[in-house]
Structure 1
């Protein structure tokens, strides 16, 4: 049995893992609650009086996202007030994900209800008072747009099924203007600055079917405008070489890549980073669920208006319940997306696999072995890691590994178990 020592980041460290802009998002949700609650009553009462299913459906959905706002607001308030409560082992950062998951379930139930009512109206149409129903539907859309405006500009990470990939023919998530190509007698290579969740480093990747480089025979030297130079040693990462040292800002310099067949020069220019590479890990699912509600509700409002206008213009009474069916499908789609994203966080699925990969590499680059590693999200922008390390160096304690892992952005809580390697005779 080998000896081991374990410790977490810091002595007497806290477990406050709330997202950036937590209190600001809390205030936004309360403002939208007041607005949506008033409009909800107007649409449901108006739709019932004037016989419009689409308008009633819009009002019902308005009630769901008013309720979702209440869930979100209470989750923000509770998480903030109990952020330091020791009963929460890893803080209250995941309470927003629980609130988002709850909102997704409510959305799914309302989608089923609207779909059922729409089918009933197809079978038994009712008269519609268009002159009264259409203005209310338009007013409902304006309220939805106002709600979107109130919730926009925050940290909700409004990604709705699209991604911000920057592929360059390989798996590295580097920005497009951080990749330079060099042609050598031995083949073509891509020189890139990689900074996905960690401080920036150089990577040299051979083209497809290209030769594999020997890290001991290749080096990178930066030459800045003031003449300052820095040499970077490289480590073999399997499919590419990576610099062992971080690159200091700004990224404006000439790069000299020294290979066995000669030197190759490329230029890098400083740029603005358009996207956060760790968007999934940093996303606030609580404000996102509220944002999804109002966006979906705006779409349902548009459908209600279209259905009413076509029904009045051409006598297509069936257009009104059809708008309800389409609205139900839109709501169900958003519900499923929310359920998948928040459920994954609640089940501790690692949203940033590259973080775990890089943690492992940092430890094993020091000559140690990672016996066990778990990385998961404990709050918006906060990741936690538990790892077991086997080391032949009896001078290395948990503080050594904490210092090595401090380089990672968003890695807020680390627990390390250090095992002594067995002594061989």
Structure 2
């Protein structure tokens, strides 16, 4: 007998996997486009009026700059407007990665053009109008610095702390109150799904038990926990009723490494706890929340800034010492820098677009959570749906006949970064 369960953690089965601060990034990108467009118009009109070909050329270059930003801005806007569109099976979270990959290709083409022009000038030097070229390069640098500041201002940190992006939480209180749990063990019992954790958020370490399913209310007198230390020492814990959970009346001595006998009415469950020095290490680790769309826009601006700096240095040295080749050499170095950034961006975004497994720790964590109670993972896929959001498809086999897929969904949804889980359970014949 096989059971199937699919959960995106929403009451309306929505698939919204946009990055944290999506709308803020969208506004910042449009601001950079406005700045570049104004500068482009000023340079083209000014260059035409004063007869400066270099100024017109820089204005046209600024238009390509604005065009690259436009890709990022349109991607943000489209992803936001179509975030709830059911035609996008796993949401629009990857649209930023597609825009980032496109920008990486454009950056590679720019690097080739700059490199080609630089080599051509190295072979056949041309006269440079230093009085015109240096001020224009400085103005271009200032615009790029302003653009970089706009894109980086209040830039959000690059990791996720939960499923806070357009998803309804079934157990919001539970999700936050166990953030400082040393470890959480899950039990499928006659009282439904139970979560046993060591809780120590501002208090001496105690056991907490939460009932995660809608069975009859679990009473404190129905539950006993006995810890068995490696040296054989046993300690019995009794529980008191609190609002929404049961808590042991005695504190747990260090270290937190022991076997646990959880006695519930007439049944007994054997569990194992291990010492974790880093209390965020069990369910909470930093998942990849990199916004590659913003990264692409930022790389484009920084690449332009680097080229401007190199151009200014090359022009100044060429004007002082007559080294016309310095300008061309600066162009070659700039092309190599841009090509390197382009490669890194294309590699990272391409991997996401091809659904490569990018977080081995998250994959191992999912496997460990499923298999620690004796079940076996048959097939497992974990992939990125958007910044800070991962999907998981888990197929497993169990000899616990009463366990339903919803049990594993509740267990796995405690793992930071998993925003959509599909579970298939194969029950072994008894």
Considering the TM-score relative to the shorter chain, is it more than 0.5? yes
Q: Which residue of 2 aligns with 1:356?
A: 363
Matched-pair contact (CA < 8 Å) for 1:6–1:415: yes
Matched-pair contact (CA < 8 Å) for 1:19–1:380: yes
Local SS of the residue matching 2:383: strand
In 2, the alpha carbon distance for the partners of 1:364 and 1:345 equals 27
Please list, as runs of the form range in 1=range in 2, the aligned pairs for 1:8-407 lying within 5 A after superposition.
Answer: 8-10=7-9, 12-40=12-40, 62-155=62-155, 201=182, 229=206, 256-257=254-255, 278=286, 281-407=288-414
Q: CA RMSD in A?
A: 3.8
Local SS of the residue matching 1:15: coil
Distance of aligned partners of 1:17 and 1:229 in 2 relative to their CA distance in 1, 3 Å threshold: closer
In 1, the alpha carbon distance for the partners of 2:348 and 2:121 equals 34
Tell me the CA shift for residue 270 of structure 1.
Answer: 10
CA offsets, 1:264-295, max 9 Å, x none?
A: xx998999x9xx9535x211111111011111
Matched-pair contact (CA < 8 Å) for 2:138–2:308: yes
In 2, the alpha carbon distance for the partners of 1:292 and 1:269 equals 35
Q: Which residue of 2 aligns with 1:184?
A: none
Matched-pair contact (CA < 8 Å) for 2:180–2:201: no
TM-score (norm 2): 0.69
In 1, the alpha carbon distance for the partners of 2:70 and 2:346 equals 18
In 2, the alpha carbon distance for the partners of 1:229 and 1:284 equals 39
In 1, the alpha carbon distance for the partners of 2:371 and 2:128 equals 71
In 1, the alpha carbon distance for the partners of 2:36 and 2:229 equals 57
- Which has more radius of gyration? 2
TM-score (norm 1): 0.70
| Gapped regions of structure 1 (runs ≥ 5) | 160-197, 203-219, 237-252, 261-265
Tell me the CA shift for residue 27 of structure 1.
Answer: 0.7
Matched-pair contact (CA < 8 Å) for 1:311–1:318: yes
Tell me the CA shift for residue 153 of structure 1.
Answer: 3.4
CA offsets, 1:238-272, max 9 Å, x none?
A: xxxxxxxxxxxxxxx99733889xxxxx998999x
In 2, the alpha carbon distance for the partners of 1:66 and 1:151 equals 13
Tell me the CA shift for residue 318 of structure 1.
Answer: 0.9
Q: Which residue of 2 aligns with 1:6?
A: 5
Tell me the CA shift for residue 422 of structure 1.
Answer: 2.9
CA offsets, 1:80-112, max 9 Å, x none?
A: 111111111100000000000000001101111
Distance of aligned partners of 1:291 and 1:156 in 2 relative to their CA distance in 1, 3 Å threshold: farther
User: How many corresponding residue pairs?
Assistant: 340
Distance of aligned partners of 1:80 and 1:392 in 2 relative to their CA distance in 1, 3 Å threshold: same
